[in-house]
Amino acid sequence: MSRNSMSTRLAATAALLLAAGALAVPASASAKPADAAPVRAYKLTVTTNPTSTTYGSRHVDVTGTVTKADGTPAPSIPVTIQEVVRFTTWNPWSDPIDPTYYEPRDLGTPVTDANGKFSIRNVNIDHVTGSSLLNIQHQVDITAFYDEDGNPNTPQDGYYTDTRVTAKAKTSSVSYTVNKKRVKKGTIFTIQGKVTLPRGVEREGTEVFLQTYWENEDRVKTTTEEDGFFVMSVRVRGYDDKFVLRTAPRDLYVAGVTKKLPIVNTSLPRR
């Protein structure tokens, strides 16, 4: 399952903009003129209408503006627009890494009109790749980017902004039984269960993950059958210490479920 970081170009450019002082906080009034941040040639904005979507209403209109430093409209400016689906990074070690990873999708490059405005109508806010929705955040970023010379290695003439759309998800549930609650090294235990999704949502193909060790997000994976049922078995290791069931429906607008299983590994050292 491939996981992309946010559009390499945009992420790198944003970092370079910060390094170059292009996104710096304005200098205080007491600062010397030489210390003031350089005047930016353009200002870029982007918004969506509406600002949230639902299972039955997934589309928004994306609009924005580009203005010059003096506030006048900037016509004929190409603005790159992306939808960026957000996921929570698995990080049980609390490492100093980005808590979110991203899947970007190009929406187009509209050009500003005589009033400095651009728009893309009827944008579908959704997850359109085949990647897993485990760890999905039900928030989607709409990003806007303009580079005066088209060269990401010259950050001083790059402009970036974004806005967030909340994807309001319906709830799901999972029921299960386990054939053993006290296990030890070498024990094979089986989970049988059913994922229940909202009416009208296809039940087949929902991903089900089983975690058995604190460092690993999952050890066993299966998918539900057409009636929502699943079966999975695993052989216990001596160090397995955390038994958690997670579901990941295939629809961005249906939330998954996490369940801690009542299983004890007696092979673990007593505390």
Which of 135, 167, 199 corresponds to the end of one domain?
A: 167
pLDDT value, residue 234: 98
Residue 142 lies in a domain: yes
Same domain as 187, residue 162: no
Q: Kindly report the CATH number assigned to the domain that includes residue 75.
A: 2.60.40.10
Average pLDDT over residues 233-258: 98
**Three-state secondary structure call for residue 36:** coil
Short-list 148, 8, 20, 154, CA closest to 79: 148
Instruction: Check whether 31 has a pLDDT greater than 70.
Output: no
Same domain as 178, residue 73: no
Instruction: Check whether 27 has a pLDDT greater than 80.
Output: no
Say what the pTM is.
0.84
Same domain as 45, residue 137: yes
Domain of residue 243 covers: 173-265
Same domain as 35, residue 155: yes
Residue 150 lies in a domain: yes
β-pairing, 136-147 vs 173-178, is: unpaired
Same domain as 114, residue 13: yes
Same domain as 59, residue 96: yes
Average pLDDT over residues 201-227: 97
What's the pLDDT tens digit per position in 113-148? 999 999 999 999 999 999 999 999 999 999 999 999
Number of domains in the chain: 2
Same domain as 189, residue 157: no
Report residue 113: phi and psi, to 5°.
-85, -170
Same domain as 182, residue 109: no
Instruction: Check whether 201 has a pLDDT greater than 90.
Output: yes
Same domain as 181, residue 163: no
Same domain as 115, residue 69: yes
Same domain as 100, residue 135: yes
Report the helix count and the strand count for the chain, using DSSP H and E.
1, 17
Residue 81 lies in a domain: yes
pLDDT value, residue 150: 84
Least confident piece of the model among 29-33, 171-175, 246-250: 29-33
Give the number of C-alpha atoms closer than 13 A to the C-alpha of residue 8, restricted to the C-beta side: 3
Instruction: Check whether 11 has a pLDDT greater than 90.
Output: no
Average pLDDT over residues 161-181: 98
What's the pLDDT tens digit per position in 47-71? 999 999 999 999 999 999 999 999 9
The mean predicted confidence, pLDDT, of the chain is 89
For 215-253, the three-class secondary structure string (H helix, E strand, C coil) is CCCCCEEEECCCCCEEEEEEECCCCCCCCEEEEECCCCC
Give the chain's end-to-end CA distance (angstroms, integer). Answer: 37
